[in-house]
Each structure stands twice: as structure tokens, then as C-alpha cells.
Amino acid sequence: MPSQNLSDPVVRQSIDTIRLLAADAVEKANSGHPGTPMEAAPIAYLLYMRHLQHNPANPDWAGRDRFVLSCGHASSLIYSMLHLTGYDLSLDEIKNFRQFGSKTAGHPEFGHVPGVETTTGPLGQGVAVAVGMAMGGQYLSQHVDGELFDYRTWVICSDGDLMEGVSAEAGSLAGHLQLGHLNYIYLDNKITIEGDTGLAFTEDVGTRYLAYGWHVERVEGENLLEIDAAMERAKNDPRPSLIIARTHIGFGAPNKQDTAAAHGSPLGADELALTKQTYHRDPRETFVIPAEVTEHMNSCLARGAELEQRWLQVFEKKKTLPQIISWLSASRDELPAGWEAALPVFTAEDGAKATRQASGAAINGLAEKIPFLIGGSADLAPSNNTEIKGAGSWLPGQSERNIHYGIREHAMGSIMNGLCHTPGLIPFGGTFFVFADYMRPAIRMAALMGLAPIYVMTHDSIGLGEDGPTHQPVEHLASLRAMPNLTVIRPGDANETSEAWKVAMTNRKGPTMLVLSRQGLPTLDRDQFAAATGVQKGGYVLAPETGELQLILLASGSEIQHAIAAQETLQTDGIGTRVVSLPCWELFEAQDAAYREQVLPSACVNRVSMEAGSRFGWERYVGLQGRAIGMDEFGASAPAGELMKHFGFTAENMVAVARELLG
């Protein structure tokens, strides 16, 4: 830790500069949240200047500490810190806060600004992602090198973060796992948008986190010595730590401090002028950074260079170790030579096989070749088939490849995002497809950031049977297909499932969701039907027509078998019928127009689709003249076969609809 005397006037001058720089940015934009940056400035100062192991000249240095501003609405705080400590973020960008094309978005965005570790804004996501970051650091420490990967994850969070339910799920798991390198600093300002937190939030947060197994301390948010000492104790405690700082929103604003008026709106010209007078600054000047503050806070550059150089000296001594070589390759998104051969190949003699079972075989094949593939389930591993056989369980203080998330889908999604932020790791996580609803905020954040978790979603339709409509997803395929940058794959047999895993492993620019059946599906004879490699293109001609093309049958997942049976009947009647497997719309739409025309010739307008989910969206492929067989209501509790017949997911119904279409 630097030996800077906290009573030195330049320290307070620096903190005041952080506050006013943030307030000026919000005022100029006429939009934003000035109050939280103003209250959190002392904490941010101590963190960046004394405790955070970071190098502004190389924000992606692998050995750095991670920092998450979970209360992303306070974005002008992190932008001020990044500029003042020497990151590549100009003052002009801060002046351009919240404007189109600027790096300084309304909430911090991963990949847009050097030094922003993860996108935050939806409250609760940051604290939960940080749990995944801490888990990732622990995994690298225990399986690659403890000296190189001894980094810490720091979080500044707010009332809103700790009210959101995901924080409870994530905090509970973090305490159970004893993630001692995880530290939250909670801004206890007692203000939300609607007013005093007493309107809706009177729990004892500290006691809650003590119950989770955390180390908890309370400090005054303006007392630098108290905060500094608490941070030091947090670093030395084997438990995750929560430092509760009693802060004052809009600190220094004479009329708006400790009020909701300082939360989500600019202070206003008059109030900002009075605030600057409070801090002995000229109210007529904006974006002022005193030279002594620049010199003082830019010392982070020299300190960071020294920290990284020490790390590199250790790395140089160890870089030829097998585990280091393996990690380096994984951190560059390189997969081991011949990894595809680890994926299982199935034959028709294997009989009916649920795609969740085929997925389990794929996971275990891949795990033998890819050491940084880790994952688990929200207490459903036996049903999701997500266990890596022979690998250990992630337990308190002990990181292994099988993660037991407990019944915490929302936290699982966010934690997977944190694991994705850990270089080299490829995380997967499973639950029932219907519970994607619990994970949706985290899925959306992964898609927004371009992270690449793999979701193993089983029990994909009414075909799960007797558990009934509460567990039977109907609208989920349509709604998730609507999400940008999410690749949704619903394979139709075991070999399509292997190919889906191949897609997931090579897609490093966004999340992949595998939507898998509970019930057994016939394993297609690939000598008779097209190769399952067509999954790579999202859709392909599974079974071509005999004679002139008159009709196209489209399906995904468990309905592929019915399309094949329907084709046989229709072609017996002399109707030239093609079967198209369409497991992934996103991949199919990414193909060139010539390929899509080859699979779905525009001249053939007679088309029938079948999918055990909402019909919404299928008009894209069947057109106005075609027919879409799907679900327009919720399911029911009954054996799967009865449900499929009742709702029309049979070859006979597909034939009947096709004949009606053809007149």
C-alpha cells in the first residue's frame, strides 16, 4: 500500500475533484446521477490509490484486481477515476458524457472503456457477477498458479443492489464457498429514487450478510482512516467481506445532500454553483483538475507499472510449466488440437435417446480434452446431465469443475458471466428451460457484453409430461430468439446435439443456449438422412423430396421425427415433400441468401412447420400462405405422449394440415 499521508491536503483536494468532475459531467449532459459519485468519492479514491492492484497503462493485465461498480447509475464516478488515475479516457470523453458515440455511456459498458470490467446498470447484476469473478480467480489460483492469480475482486454497491433478489442468491453462495478474495463496499446512504429507504427497506443488511457467513464492518463514509483500515482488514479475512459505509448522497450540495433530488437528476446550475463554493472552487469554472491533483493521482501509473513488472518476473520463471502453457492457450480462446473428435457420434442402433442425454455425453467427451471447461446446474445435474464424471465438486475453499449452484438460477446466470470474465474459463450451466425466465436478466447481459456462457436448458416442451404447465415452456423459444446476439439451438436428435455443442464451443462472441428434450428421440440413420453437420448452418435439407418439389415441412427438436414420418406418407401420395431441420434461426439467418434459397426455395410457397412451442415468428419461414403448427395455450399435466397427441404434435396432424394447405 502507498504511504501517502491521508491528512495531506492533496488527498482531500483529489476527492473534491472526483466529486465535482462527476457532477459537471452530469450537469453538462443534463442527464444522470450526481449524488452517488459525490458520496462515494472518498471510497473510490482509497480503492484506486491505495488498495486496488491495477495498472492504468494495461487495464487487461491478467494479475490485476477486479473492480465492479455495481451501482452502474453512478457511472460518472468510474469515468472520473479512470481519467484521473491515468487510464486511456480523455477529459473530452467525460465532457461528452451520455452522448451518442461517446465512450462514457449512461451506465458503464464492458468493452467500451478501458478499466470497465463488466457492464452494470440493472441493479444486483454487478454484485452477482463479482461472485463469479471471485470464483474464477480462485479457480485459476488453485489450478494454474497461486502466486500469479492471487487477485481480489472489489465492488462498490448500493441499496438498490442489495434489495434485488439476485444479490441474496449470490451472497448466500459466496458465503458458503468462503470466497475470501471478494469485498463489497456498500454505500448506505438511506436514499432511493422515491425517497428515504425506510419506505421499503428497513432490514439489518449487516446481520443478513453475517448469516451468509461474511465478514461485516461498519464505517463512516467520510472517515478516510476508518475506511482504509476496514479495507485492510477485509483483505486479511478468509471470508468474503461487506464494509457498510454510512454515506450521504450528494455530499456537499447545500440543499440536496441526503435527499432523493440528488439521485437521478442533475443538481442544477444554482445548486452546483453553491456546491463548488462549499469546496472552495470557482463556481464559474467547469471540469477543473488542479495540476497537483493530476500529478498526485497519476502516480497510479508508476505504481501500476511496478506491480505488473513484479508479476511478469514471476510469470517469466513459470511460463514453461504445463498448466501455464495450457492456460495461456485457453486465455486466447484456442481449443486443443483434435477437440472435435471428443464429441460423441451416435448411430441408429443407439435407439431413442433424449437430447439431454446426448448433451451429457458431449460434455464429458469435451471435458477430457478441454481442461478449462467447467460447469454445473441449479440443483438439477441428474436431470440436466451436466455432471463432469470423475471431476470433483466445488466446495468451500476448494474449486473443482462441478459447480453446485443450489436452487439459484438468477445467481447462476450472473455468476457464469463473472466466470466468463475470467480468462480461459468456459462455463456452462443447466436448469429446466422454463426457468430461463429466472435467468433472463443475466442472459441479456451476457448477450449485450458479448460473453460466451453455454446454457444447457432441458425439459424443453410439453414433452416433459406430468409436471404440468408450470414446468412446460411454451413462449420461451420465441422470446429468447428475439434477444440479439443469443444463439438458440434446439437439436432434433443425438448427433444434432453433438453438433450443437461444436457450435457452442466455437462461438466466443455471445452466449449459446442448447434447448434439449427430456424424452427420448429417435437417433436418425445418417446414411439415410443428411449429415448433422448442417446444424452449423442453422438449417439444412434433412430429407430431400422425390420428384418435383411441392411442399416443405420444417421442424426442430422432438418434432423432426414427425416431419420425417409425414414426408413418407405424403410422398406415397405422390406429393414431392422436403424435410428441413431448422434447429437454430440465428445461424440460418447468418448464411448467405444463396444458401437460404437453396434450403427454402422461394418458389415453393406450400410450407408447414411444427414446433412444440409458440407459433410466434414461424411466419418468417412458412410465409403468409403456409401453416405453423404450435402452441397457442399453456400445456397440461399428463403423460408426454398424450399431451403431444392432444396438442397436435403428430405426423398424422402434420399430414392433415399439409393436405388442407394443398387443397
d(CA 580, CA 564): 9
- Regarding whether 548 and 509 lie in a shared domain, the answer is no
- Cell 491521508 locates to 6
- Regarding whether 544 and 509 lie in a shared domain, the answer is no
- Sheet of 540-543: strand order equals 540-543, 577-581, 551-555, 607-614, 627-631
- Regarding whether 44 and 114 lie in a shared domain, the answer is yes
**Quick one: cell of 648?**
397436435
- Regarding whether 346 and 228 lie in a shared domain, the answer is no
CATH code where residue 436 lies: 3.40.50.970
d(CA 481, CA 160): 30
- Regarding whether 295 and 360 lie in a shared domain, the answer is no
- Regarding whether 431 and 403 lie in a shared domain, the answer is yes
Does some domain include residue 8? no
pLDDT at 4: 63
**Quick one: cell of 478?**
420465441
Identify the sign of the CA torsion 312, 314, 320, 326: negative
Angle between helices 35-46 and 75-84 (to 10 degrees): 40
Does some domain include residue 44? yes
In whole angstroms, how far apart are CA 442 and each of 43, 122, 174?
A: 28, 10, 17
- Regarding whether 89 and 207 lie in a shared domain, the answer is yes
Instruction: Label the pairing between strands 512-515 and 153-158.
Output: unpaired
Does some domain include residue 174? yes
The percentage of the chain sitting over the pLDDT mark of 70, rounded to a whole number, equals 99
* Residues contacting 489, CB < 8 A, separation 6+: 500, 503, 504, 512, 513, 514, 515, 535, 583, 584, 587
Residues forming beta bridges with residue 455, ordered by sequence position: 429, 513
d(CA 157, CA 184): 7
The residues assigned a catalytic role are 409
- Regarding whether 501 and 553 lie in a shared domain, the answer is no
d(CA 621, CA 605): 10
Does some domain include residue 521? no
d(CA 513, CA 248): 43
Residues forming beta bridges with residue 540, ordered by sequence position: 581
Residue that terminates a domain, selected from 483, 515, 547: 515
Range of the structural domain that residue 642 is part of: 533-662
pLDDT at 623: 96
pLDDT at 5: 83
- Cell 430461463 locates to 436
| The 3-state secondary structure of 343-399, one letter per residue | CCCCCHHHCCECHHHHHHHHHHHHHHHCCCEEEEECCCHHHHCCCCCCCCECECCEC
Predicted TM-score (pTM) of this structure: 0.98
Instruction: Label the pairing between strands 195-196 and 191-192.
Output: antiparallel
d(CA 621, CA 282): 64
Does some domain include residue 298? yes
d(CA 372, CA 313): 25
d(CA 181, CA 174): 10
Q: Could you report the per-residue pLDDT of 442-454, keeping only the tens digit for each? A: 999 999 999 999 9
Identify the sign of the CA torsion 318, 322, 327, 328: positive
Question: Taking the CB of residue 476, how many other CB atoms lie within 10 A of it?
Answer: 23
Tally the domains of the chain: 3
Does some domain include residue 640? yes
The rounded average pLDDT for each run of 10 residues, N- to C-terminus, in the chain (663 residues) is 76 98 98 98 98 98 98 98 98 98 98 97 98 98 98 98 98 98 98 96 98 98 98 98 98 98 97 97 97 98 98 98 98 97 97 98 98 98 98 97 98 98 98 98 98 98 98 98 98 98 98 98 98 98 98 98 98 98 98 98 98 98 97 97 98 98 95
pLDDT at 1: 47
Rounded to a whole number of angstroms, the CA Rg of the chain reads: 28
- Regarding whether 272 and 205 lie in a shared domain, the answer is yes
d(CA 115, CA 18): 16
d(CA 506, CA 516): 19
- Regarding whether 112 and 21 lie in a shared domain, the answer is yes
- Regarding whether 617 and 545 lie in a shared domain, the answer is yes
The H-assigned helical ranges of 47-180 are 75-84, 91-95, 125-143, 159-163, 165-177
Note whether 392 and 416 are within 8 A (CB): no
Does some domain include residue 327? no
CATH code where residue 562 lies: 3.40.50.920
- Regarding whether 208 and 139 lie in a shared domain, the answer is yes
Q: Could you report the per-residue pLDDT of 26-75, keeping only the tens digit for each? A: 999 999 999 999 999 999 999 999 999 999 999 999 999 999 999 999 99
Does some domain include residue 627? yes
Residue that terminates a domain, selected from 515, 547, 573: 515
